[in-house]
Amino acid sequence: MTTTTDTQFTASADGTRIAYSRQGTGPAIVCVEGALCHRAMGGAKILTDALKDDFTVYGYDRRGRGESGPGASPYDVQREVEDLAAVLAATGETPFVFAASSGAALALEAARQGVPIRGLVCYEAPFIVDDTHAPNDPALPERFAALAEEGRRGEAVKLFMKTVGAPAPMVALMPLFPVWKSLKAVAHTLPNDFRICIDFEQGRPLPAGHYATVEVPTVVIAGGKSPAYLRNAQAAIADQLPHGRLVTLPGQTHMIRAKATAPVLREAFAQDA
């Protein structure tokens, strides 16, 4: 029998209320979203229909997004690790995790710290670890924070789009699309995404042994049509993981497509069931 829940809440270590919901039946999969995404607009929404007959898919709103609180203490990446740990614990089991983009970087950090995860699939952590892409400005977290503090959320979204390589005409036209309002609603959390990733976006190799303590079986996904820097970064991550495996999806990009991605999750998590 398929189980669906309305919004529920769990408390993070600092008391912040983190909103989540679940749909499906079977072992738990917790989805960790990337920048500008939340339960209603991200990996959980895209993948639930393809997975819910065999898995219970949990989506949660990272702090400051959707129905989750803004944070009961000043932001630090560790607070988001604690948020994820609280959601994992709320499942009542040791769940699988699917994580995308900056969410993949967050999930890898949680795994590196030993947060209990049954199996992990990461989709394109946005690292720059070689010279195939110019490094990102180390001051990006502060630039996004300043825009957020000034209430210039639209400018923050545009800066994000330029940073990730969106064509200039697309950046100019985005305010005309219905999704613009949803993007602006969570634009104030963009500093958090870059605080998670910026140290690994400087064109330098990953620190030696950075992920050597991750014991979780992990599949690292790269899109076959993604830029070389993203594909190279996923290979570097997988190479460091003691139980890591790289999967390249032909024809795919940084955008998650259920038809291509759900079979990878099914295969990876079936092996770890």
Residue 64: C-alpha distances to residues 19, 49, 108, 153, 252 (Å) = 10, 26, 21, 14, 30
Q: How confident is the model at residue 194, as a pLDDT?
A: 98
Nearest-5° Cα angle at 78, 227 to 151: 70
Same domain, 250 and 145: no
Q: What confidence tens digit (pLDDT) does each residue in 146-198 have?
A: 999 999 999 999 999 999 999 999 999 999 999 999 999 999 999 999 999 99
**Domain contains 101:** yes
* Radius of gyration over every alpha carbon of the chain, rounded to an integer in angstroms: 17
Domain boundary among 171, 196, 221: 196
**CA 96, CA 225: separation in Å to the nearest integer?**
27
Q: How confident is the model at residue 5, as a pLDDT?
A: 74
Q: How confident is the model at residue 1, as a pLDDT?
A: 42
Q: What is the mean pLDDT of residues 212-223?
A: 98
**CA 216, CA 110: separation in Å to the nearest integer?**
11
- Given a cut of 90, whether residue 201 has pLDDT beyond it is yes
Domain boundary among 196, 225, 240: 196
**Domain contains 51:** yes
- Given a cut of 60, whether residue 99 has pLDDT beyond it is yes
**CA 219, CA 245: separation in Å to the nearest integer?**
5
Same domain, 11 and 145: no
Same domain, 217 and 187: no
**Domain contains 245:** yes
Q: What confidence tens digit (pLDDT) does each residue in 117-141 have?
A: 999 999 999 999 999 999 999 999 9
**Domain contains 219:** yes
Domain boundary among 169, 196, 223: 196
Q: Look up the domain containing 91 and give its range.
A: 3-128+206-271
Same domain, 153 and 89: no
Same domain, 77 and 96: yes
- Give the distance from CA 241 to its chain's centroid: 18
pTM: 0.96
**Per the structure block, which two tokens stand in for 174?**
């985005």
| Phi, psi of 30, deg, nearest 5 | -100, 130
